[in-house]
Amino acid sequence: MSDVLQSLSEAMANLAERGGASVVRVEARSRFPASGVIYRADGVIVTSNHGVERDDELRIGLPGGDSVAAELAGRDPGTDLAVLRVAGSALSAASWVDASELRVGHLILALGRPGQSIQATLGVVSALGKAWRTGGGGEVDRYLQTDVVMYPGFSGGPLVAADGRIAGVNSSALVRGVSVTIPAGTVQRVVETLLVHGHMPRGYLGVGLQPVRLDPGLQESLGQPTGLMLLSVEADGPAAQGGLLQGDVLVTLDGLAVRQIDDLQALLAGERVGKAVTVRFARAGALHETTVTVGQK
């Protein structure tokens, strides 16, 4: 038994050492530094947005001990991710693993570098779920919860799978009292968008909404119980330009049902910004269609 434990102990220590080669210290707030992950070898760093409290005078503590200046490339409060750049090259970039390869009960390590050296905490994948929307409106590809203890400064650091690949970026700001990880797929999508735009484009219709129950006839024909009533329509906004009026009830956008406000928010993701979409709506008990060009919020 002692040999088994010694072998496991050595394996976990090696895992922390390998993973730590891609973990940096992020000095971007007045209190305890946060951690970050080397996303690309040419100096792209991903970290937690709440760990970057200022836009300038940023520094990164590299695994080798050097401290270098960094600049903010973009941030997305919705997914609690931020991207920084540092000068230089030949950094040790992380290798990512998709959350679909994880199972509840898998051993994982959470790594952080709030000081000079790497720190680690051991845990298991405690819950996996479907895609979800954060309180800030961010789209996360999959729910990934662990039982690791998020020590001060661990936010923005990686969750490392048993094979050494990184499953995502840890955050203590998205769900109170729960250790959640932004999975690799979401991290990669958000980072690539931030590198291009500096922010996450989000669609905008210029309306105030409230879910309402549809008339029985519409429920039967549409196969959905509710739609979204327009409580207000911004003058010259995208909805107004598409001919929508206060009191209209949206039932589909781009052919997809909108039953609750979350449904519409999910459909107004970045890829629809600037595009003309078909909107189906109820007015005075009858169904109509119009075309709306989605604005950018």
Query: Which uninterrupted H or E stretch holds 293?
Result: strand 286-293
Instruction: Judge if 255 and 129 occupy the same domain.
Output: no
* 123 and 209 within one domain: no
The per-residue pLDDT for range 105-135, each reduced to its tens digit, is 999 999 999 999 999 999 999 999 999 988 8
Q: Among 181, 199, 217, give the residue marking a domain's end.
A: 199
> For the segment 131-175, what is each residue's pLDDT rounded down to a tens digit?
998 887 788 999 999 999 999 999 999 999 999 999 999 999 999
In this prediction, residue 262 carries a pLDDT of 82
- CATH classification at residue 22: 2.40.10.120
* 56 and 118 housed in the same domain: yes
Q: How many helices, marked H, and strands, marked E, lie in the chain? A: 5, 22
**SS3 assignment, position 171:** strand
pLDDT value for 265: 83
| Domain end (from 199, 230, 249) | 199
Same structural domain, 143 and 263: no
Q: Which residues contact 61 (CB under 8 A, 6 or more apart)?
A: 24, 25, 26, 27, 33, 67, 113, 116
Residues 188 and 268 in one domain: no
Which of 199, 230, 252 terminates a domain? The answer is: 199
Mean pLDDT within 277-294: 95
**Same-domain check for residues 180 and 101:** yes
Per-residue model confidence as pLDDT tens digits over 14-57: 999 999 999 999 999 988 899 999 999 999 999 999 999 999 99
CATH at residue 227: 2.30.42.10
Please report the pLDDT score of residue 80 as a whole number. 96
Token code pair at residue 229: 């009533």
18 and 44 in contact (C-beta within 8 Å)? no
**Are both 177 and 213 inside the same structural domain?**
no
Query: Do 69 and 113 fall within a single domain?
Result: yes
Answer yes or no: do 12 and 117 share one domain: yes
Q: How far apart are CA 180 and CA 174, in angstroms?
A: 7
Whether residue 297 has pLDDT greater than 80: no
Say yes or no: 10 and 148 in one domain: yes
Residue-number span of the structural domain to which 66 is assigned: 1-199
Whether residue 279 is found in the same domain as residue 262: yes
pLDDT tens digits, 262-281: 889 878 876 788 899 999 99
Higher per-residue pLDDT: 255 or 89: 255
C-alpha 142/C-alpha 157 separation (Å) is: 18
Asked if residue 256 has pLDDT above 80, the reply is: yes
Q: For 241-250, what is the mean pLDDT?
A: 96
What is the greatest pairwise CA distance in the chain? 76
pLDDT at 137: 77
pTM, two decimal places: 0.81
Q: Is the pLDDT of residue 296 over 90?
A: no
As annotated, the active-site residues are 50, 80, 155
The pLDDT, as a whole number, for residue 2 is 75
Number of domains in the chain: 2
Q: Are 111 and 240 in a shared domain? A: no
pLDDT at 177: 85
Does the pLDDT of residue 90 top 90, yes or no?
no
